Amino acid sequence: MLNIVPNVPDMGEKTEKKFTGLSRQARILRGVSLYVPAFVMTIIVLTAIFADLSWIGLPQYGLAPHDPNDSTPRDRLLPPAFMEEGQPEYLLGTDRLGRDVLSRVIHGARISLSVSLLVIAITASIGTVLGITAGLLGGRTEGFIMRVVDVALSFPALILALLIATIIGPGYLTVVLALSVLGWAGYTRLVRAESMRITHSDFVAQARVNGASSIRIMVRHIFPNVLNSLIIVMTISVGAMIIAESTLSFLGIGISAPIPSWGSMVADGRAELDRAWWISAFPGIAIGLVVLSMNFLGDWIRDKFDPRLRQQ
C-alpha cells in the first residue's frame, strides 16, 4: 500500500532539543552572572582585609607594596609600569605627591567597603524594626511611621550630608552618619509592605489564636519571611553605598585626607586628567567593578530566592 501520509518531522523532539538548548544557555549565563562577580568581590574583599596586617601586629607586611601615605616628590606623576617611562616599583603609577596609586587603591577598598557595610547594617536594622512594627500593628502606629518615612524620602540627602559635614566636619563618622540618617526609610517601606502581606496569612492568625505576643510574632513569624527580600536589597545597596561614599569624598565632605578612599582619589586626579589619567582612572575602575559585581550578585540572589521568579 502506498503511504499517503506526509512525512511530518517529530516536532516534539525538535521542541525538546530547542528548549534543552535554551536551558543550557540559561545555565551558562546564570553561572557567569554568579561566578564572575563572586570571584571579583572575593578578590576585592580579601584585598581590603589583607591590605596590611597591622591589625595582627605586622604592619610591614600586606598586599600593598608601599605605605599609601608615603610621598616621594622625585617620583611624582610617574605613569603605570606598562607605559613608557613607567617603573616596575609603581605598577599603577604615582599621584602628584609621589604616592603609589596601587597601594592607595588597595587601602581605599577597605575604607569604601567598611563604610558601605556599616551603613547597610545600621539602616537595614532600623528599617526592619520599623517596617515590621508598622506592618503588624497598623493603625496610628503605621500612619505615624509611614509619615516619617515620607518626610525622610522627600528630604534631599546631599543637602543633609553637607549640613552634617559643616557641623561636625568631614570624616569617616560623617559619611556613616550622613548616609544612615535617611537610608533606613527605603528599608522601612519595603519591609512594611512585606509584613502587611504576611500579617494576613493563616499561620500568623493561628499564632494570635494561640496567644503569641506581638514581639514573638515579629521575631518568629514575620522576620524570617521578609529576610529573603531584605538580603536582596542589602546586596544591591552595597554598590549604591559605595557610589554615595565616593560622591561625598569627591565633594570634599567625606573621608578626609590623607586617608585613601576611592572617591577622594578620583577627586585628587581630576586636575591632572590631561597628563596623569591613571590617578582617577584606576579607583574609578574599582568602583565600577564593585557596583557591577554587587548588582549581578543581587540579581542572582533575587532569581534564586524569589519563588515567583524561580517558577518562571
Can you give the residue range of the structural domain that contains 172? 115-311
Q: d(Cα 148, Cα 136) in Å, to the nearest integer?
A: 17
* Residue 283 maps to a domain: yes
The share of the chain scoring above pLDDT 90, in percent, equals 10
* Residue 52 maps to a domain: no
- CATH number, position 186: 1.10.3720.10
* Residue 67 maps to a domain: no
Residue 165: other Cβ atoms inside 10 A: 21
* Residue 51 maps to a domain: no
pLDDT the model gives residue 17: 42
* Residue 74 maps to a domain: no
Q: d(Cα 226, Cα 190) in Å, to the nearest integer?
A: 9
* Residue 25 maps to a domain: no
* Residue 138 maps to a domain: yes
Strand pairing partners for 100? 94
pLDDT the model gives residue 5: 37
Identify the burial level of 207 via C-beta atoms within 10 angstroms of its C-beta, where 0-12 means exposed, 13-18 middle and 19 or more buried: middle
The share of the chain scoring above pLDDT 70, in percent, equals 85
* Residue 284 maps to a domain: yes
The pLDDT tens digits of the residues spanning 225-284 come to 888 888 888 888 888 888 888 888 877 777 777 788 888 888 888 888 888 898 989 999
Number of domains in the chain: 1
